[in-house]
Structure 1
Amino acid sequence: MQLQWLNDVLVLLEEGNMSRAAARRNITQPAFSRRIRGFEDWLGVTILDRRTNRVEISEALSSNEDEIRALIRRLGELRTKIAQFAPTRTTVEIAAQHAPIFSTFPDMALRARRAFPGLQFRIRAGNLNDCVSMFLRGDTGMLLCYEAERVGPLAFGPDVRRGRWGTDYLIPVIGGALRYTVRDTGDIPADTPAIVYPEDSYFGQVLSRNERAFGTSGFSANPFSVTAFSSGLRELALKGLGVGWLPFSMAHREIESGALISLAHRYGQEPLEVAIYADRRAEMTQTLMTLWAAEGGGQPG
């Protein structure tokens, strides 16, 4: 099997047309067709229906487009690792939600580098579902995420070990000129603009389930912006564009300086755990789990 065949197939899926796909690959259509046949011969399955006037791509191929992309990426990374191998260097790949990348990972990385000076990290950011998929596919050896206490930990098999870095809280904050709308009681006007999370995001699901005001569009009278990126939400809140919910670890400096005001005493807070998951079969991930769980105050599972 040749890597170029996978790239050919991916371009074909993107274009949905043999002529356009061949043009993107800078080869003639007959040559492109021969390469697709080579892939079919290796696969032992026909992926194109050539019996009609137009070529049709089989559903078996199109339904696995994400897996093909992941395989191409992993093969490319493997080639790079072999070509640039250094015996004293170890790289750990981590799938991580955007929020803990900003709020907790820098401290985790510093502690890991003190213990293992040659250690390198590759972070793959995404929403929780994407991160879980990357971890389960084996694209990464570790998963870093927030977990709401009311929801509980993710369910993985016995080959996955769970550790806890620490605890956090999801709190509502307000900044900019909107700070001056906060009343002595801690209330803010019901029509205050809100920077909300999508309801299908992890934080959105947590806030919506508990009917938290200003958390999602369904519980906000005036949603100004919808974003799943907590770091972007923080910047919008600092500019006074709306009230939004943030992990306390991402907002505590701004709260201490007065740039943001916490509304947790009036609108509540959501307890979070910073969870780490690792493949038990990888030695370095297990070593890091033990280090982080011990220093973070949690217990490895």
Structure 2
Amino acid sequence: MELVWLEDLSALAEYGSFVRAAEARHVTQPAFSRRVRSLENWMGVELFVRTPQGATLTEAGRQILPSAQEAARHLYRMRNEAQEVAGMAARSLKFAATHSLSFTFFPKWLRSSENAALIEAVQLHSDSMAVCEQMLIHGQVQFLLCHRHPDVPPLLAPDQFISKTVGEDVLVPLASTSTRFGTTPAALPYLAYTHESGLGRIVAHRLRGKEDYLHLKPLFSSHLAAVLMSMALESKGVAWLPKSLTEQEVLEGRLVRALDESWDIPLEIHLTRPKAQLSQAAEAFWGEAGGGGGLALGGRAG
């Protein structure tokens, strides 16, 4: 049994595709497939049903997935505890944050923390929402910082993780002043988020059933808000972009509203952690982090 096998199990269950899961795990697809098969051989049962459309968990796979995820987190906690006893990680914190928050919100928020001065080291892993969620599930980080919307719950088990609001943001439909939308509303070029993006899940929820009404014409997609902003600045279309990321561009008049304020999407910035006990430094940081008490992940934020 290897730890990476447990992480591969969770990744394949998340993505439902060997190709996409292998990309997220930063290995080749053949190597990833061999590792999944090795886990199945060790278990003595098939964990996935393989079809041309992808991979889905078998009944046995669904049964063991929560235990496998908890086992991975337990191993990482055991390593952290050993490092703390040895004095190597007594006051270090590990965060996963989505790209846009890594560049905008995270540095200022960390500096403003009441007990930031007591932290000796911080590790920040910046990636897509899907990868950040997997890092938290596997116990590779103690905290996840991401955008949230009350009507779009994260893909995290509510009985294993808790969350609190530490900030606010808003998605605004923006475009360059020189963007050409055509003489009719039937050609509104749309810059979209991919499925790996947490913002993409939120925008997709808001626009579900309204694409035809808005005459959106998908032109380009990326999981990075910064990439979509660059495309918008190049007059390639309209994108729902975080206000925190685009304040300067809007102030300078390089980006303007493409739709009225009724199409804005209010966001909360959430800090999420496992319910299981963290290190003393991590628990102290959680207690001081802004936003009050923890929220159940499935619940509506206040």
Question: TM-score scaled by structure 2?
Answer: 0.62
CA contact (8 A) 1:125 1:131 kept: yes
Shift of 1:287: 2.0
- Aligned CA distance change for structure 1 residues 218 and 122 (closer, same or farther; 3 Å): farther
- Summarize deviations over 1:70-111 as a string: whole Å, max 9, x none: 96xx77x959x85xx655763222232233222311212323
- Aligned CA distance change for structure 1 residues 109 and 221 (closer, same or farther; 3 Å): same
Matches within 5 A, 1:33-112: 78=79, 87=88, 90-112=91-113
- Aligned CA distance change for structure 1 residues 287 and 255 (closer, same or farther; 3 Å): same
What letter matches 2:91 in structure 1? T
Instruction: Give 1:278's aligned residue.
Output: 273
CA contact (8 A) 2:185 2:215 kept: no
SS in 2 for 1:177: coil
- Aligned CA distance change for structure 1 residues 289 and 188 (closer, same or farther; 3 Å): farther
Shift of 1:249: 0.7
What letter matches 2:138 in structure 1? R
Shift of 1:122: 3.2
- Measured in 2, the distance between the counterparts of 1:93 and 1:275 equals 15
Question: TM-score scaled by structure 1?
Answer: 0.62
Shift of 1:291: 2.7
Instruction: Give 1:25's aligned residue.
Output: none
- Measured in 1, the distance between the counterparts of 2:43 and 2:181 equals 67
Match of 2:118 among 102, 116, 119: 116
CA contact (8 A) 2:97 2:125 kept: yes
Matches within 5 A, 1:173-252: 173-175=174-176, 177-178=178-179, 181=180, 189-198=185-194, 201-211=197-207, 221-252=216-247
Shift of 1:4: 12
CA contact (8 A) 1:161 1:300 kept: no
- Measured in 2, the distance between the counterparts of 1:144 and 1:2 equals 28
- Summarize deviations over 1:44-89 as a string: whole Å, max 9, x none: 9699xxxxxxxxxxx999x99xx79x96xx77x959x85xx65576
Instruction: Give 1:14's aligned residue.
Output: 31
What letter matches 1:209 in structure 2? H
- Measured in 2, the distance between the counterparts of 1:2 and 1:168 equals 40
- Aligned CA distance change for structure 1 residues 267 and 152 (closer, same or farther; 3 Å): same
- Aligned CA distance change for structure 1 residues 167 and 13 (closer, same or farther; 3 Å): same
Instruction: Give 1:150's aligned residue.
Output: 151
- Aligned CA distance change for structure 1 residues 229 and 158 (closer, same or farther; 3 Å): same
5+ residue gaps, structure 1, are: 18-35, 48-58
- Summarize deviations over 1:180-231 as a string: whole Å, max 9, x none: x589xxx995413221123674333332333279x97996543221112112
SS in 1 for 2:169: strand
What letter matches 1:289 in structure 2? W
- Measured in 1, the distance between the counterparts of 2:178 and 2:93 equals 43
- Measured in 2, the distance between the counterparts of 1:199 and 1:122 equals 23
Match of 2:128 among 114, 126, 129: 126
- Summarize deviations over 1:22-54 as a string: whole Å, max 9, x none: xxxxxxxxxxxxxx9xxx8xx69699xxxxxxx
- Aligned CA distance change for structure 1 residues 265 and 114 (closer, same or farther; 3 Å): same
CA contact (8 A) 1:91 1:122 kept: no
Based on CA coordinates, which of the two structures has the bigger radius of gyration? 1
Structure 1 position 254 matched with structure 2 position 249: yes
Match of 2:293 among 269, 292, 300: 300
- Measured in 2, the distance between the counterparts of 1:161 and 1:299 equals 12
Identity %: 21
- Aligned CA distance change for structure 1 residues 169 and 5 (closer, same or farther; 3 Å): closer
SS in 2 for 1:194: strand
Which deviates more from structure 2 when the two are superposed, residues 274-283 or residues 190-199?
Answer: 190-199
Instruction: Provide the aligned C-alpha RMSD in A.
Output: 5.2
- Measured in 1, the distance between the counterparts of 2:211 and 2:139 equals 33
Instruction: Give 1:33's aligned residue.
Output: none
